[in-house]
Amino acid sequence: MAETPLSDLEAILLVGGQGTRLRPLTLGTPKPLLPTAGVPFLAHQLARARSFGVGRIVFATSYRAEMFSEAFGDGSAFGLSIEYMTEETPLGTGGAIRNAAEALTCGPDAPVLVLNGDILSGHDIGDQVARHVSRGAAVTLHLTEVDDPSRFGCVPTDEEGRVTAFLEKTPNPVTNLINAGCYVFTRSVIDSIPAGRVVSVERETFPGLIEDGALVLGYADASYWLDVGTPAAFVKGSRDLVLGRLASPALPGPPGDFLALPGAMISPEAKVSGGSVVGARAVVESGARITGSVLGDDCVVHADAEVVDSVVGIGARVSSGTVLRDVVIGDGAVVGAGNELLAGSRVWPGVVLPECAVRFSSDV
C-alpha cells in the first residue's frame, strides 16, 4: 500500500443523525453543532483532526444539512477545506460514508479517516493511521475499553489485534472493548459499500469484511473517550473540555473552573464552578450556584437558584430558589420559582412551568 503523508489525509465526518437521545436540544440544532465548551461541538473535532495533519474533510450531512455549511463554510476559517455531501434520506453510517466518498480526491490505496460526529477522543489519530498503513488493513477501528460493555456491542480481537467478530449487545460480553467511532478505511473498501441504499457499518460492512477474511484491525487504547449522545454525557463532555481533562485547541481561552462567554454577567455573590459554561449575555444573579452545567446564550438564572450537571437552553429563565439537577431546559423555557427538577427531567422549548405553590405555601 502506498504511504500517504498525513498532510494529504482526507477525512469523512458523519453528521447526519437526528440525535434523538438529546432531544429537545437537537430539535432545532443538530447534535454536532450544539455549543460545547463555548464553540460548536464539531469545532473541537475539526481542530484535533487538523492537529494531526488532516487538510480536507467531507461532511456527510442529512438532518438540517444547511446548518453545517452556514457554520463552517468552505472551512478556510478553520484551516481546512470542507466539502458537503447531503443525503436526501439518511443512508445510515455505511451508506453515508459511501455517498460522501464521491467527493474524495485520493486514490484506491489511500487511507481515509472516518469520524462519528459525536465523539470526544484523546487518542493518537496519526498512530492509528500509521498502524493501518503498516499492516495493510482494510479497515482499522479505534476501540476503547468501558466499565460496562453490556450497554454496547463489543469487539473482540486476537493477540495480533485482528477483529474477530462484531457482537450485538449481550448481558455477558466477552470483552470490555467497544467500537469507539473513529475508523481508517482503505479507499477501495469504501467504494465496495453498496451505493444508494441504507447500510450500517456496524451491522453490515464490518461483519461482512470479517466473514470475507479481510484484515479488520483493532486500535485499542486507554486515552480519554466519550460519546456525547445523551444529555448526561453531553454536559460531561463540555465540563471536561472546560476543566482541561481533554485538551482541545478549539477551547476559547485557557482551561479553568468555568468559562464565561462575551457579555455574560455573573454576580460576585454567585458561585460558578465545576467546568460550567455561562453563555454570551447570560445572567447569573446573586446567590445562584452553577456547577458542571451548560448555560445557553441570553438565559437568566435568578437569585439563589441551584443548577447542577444540567443544560439551560438559549434564552431560558430559571426562577429564584429553583433546583435543577441532571436536567435539560429547552430554549426559551421558563422554570417558575421553587421548582425542583431532578435526574432525567426535560422541559421542552418555550414551556412555562408555573411557580411551585406547595413550596411557597410553607414559606408564608
Helix (H), strand (E) at residue 295: strand 294-295
Asked, as a colleague might, if the bond just before 30 is cis with ω within 30 of 0, I would say no
Residue 121 in contact with ligand GTP, rule: CB under 6 A: no
Q: Kindly indicate which of the ranges 111-119, 269-277, 278-286, 320-328 contains the residues binding ligand GTP, using the contact rule CB under 6 A.
A: 111-119
Mark the segment that binds ligand GTP (CB under 6 A) among 57-65, 147-155, 257-265, 296-304: 57-65
Binding mask 242-271 vs ligand GTP (x if CB under 6 A, - otherwise)?
Answer: ------------------------------
Beta-carbon contacts of residue 320 (< 8 Å; ≥ 6 apart): 285, 302, 303, 304, 305, 337
Of 15 and 312, nearer to ligand GTP (C-beta) is 15
Distance, CA of 314 to CA of 332 (rounded, Å): 6
Q: CB under 6 A: which stretch of 12-20, 67-75, 172-180, 210-218 binds ligand GTP? A: 12-20
Q: Minimum distance between the CB of residue 188 and ligand GTP, rounded to whole angstroms? A: 21
How far is the C-alpha of 111 from the C-alpha of 136, rounded, in Å?
10
Measured from the CB atom, the residue of 61 and 276 that comes closer to ligand GTP is 61
Query: Is 42 a residue that touches ligand GTP (CB under 6 A)?
Result: no
* Strands 216-221 vs 111-116: parallel, antiparallel or unpaired: unpaired
Catalytic: 169? yes
Residue corresponding to grid cell 454577567 = 265
Write the binding mask 83 to 102 for ligand GTP: x where contact by CB under 6 A, - elsewhere.
----x--xxxx--x------
Instruction: Examine residue 62 and tell whether it contacts ligand GTP (CB under 6 A).
Output: yes
Q: Which residues contact 130 (CB under 8 A, 6 or more apart)?
A: none
Each as own residue / partner, the long-range contacts of residues 277-282 (CB below 8 Å, 24 or more positions apart, any chain) are: 277/35, 277/37, 277/38, 277/238, 277/242, 279/35, 279/314
Nearer to ligand GTP, 19 or 321 (CB): 19
Residues in contact with ligand GTP, shown as a per-residue x/- string from 205 to 244 under the rule CB under 6 A: ------------------------x---------------
Nearer to ligand GTP, 229 or 279 (CB): 229
CA-wise closest residue to 125 among 32, 210, 225? 225
Question: Could you say which of 10, 83, 118, 297 contacts ligand GTP (CB under 6 A)?
Answer: 118
> Which of 223, 187, 263, 261 is closest to 39 using CA atoms?
261
List active site positions: 169
List interacting residues with ligand GTP (CB under 6 A): 14-22, 31, 60-62, 87, 90-93, 96, 116-118, 229
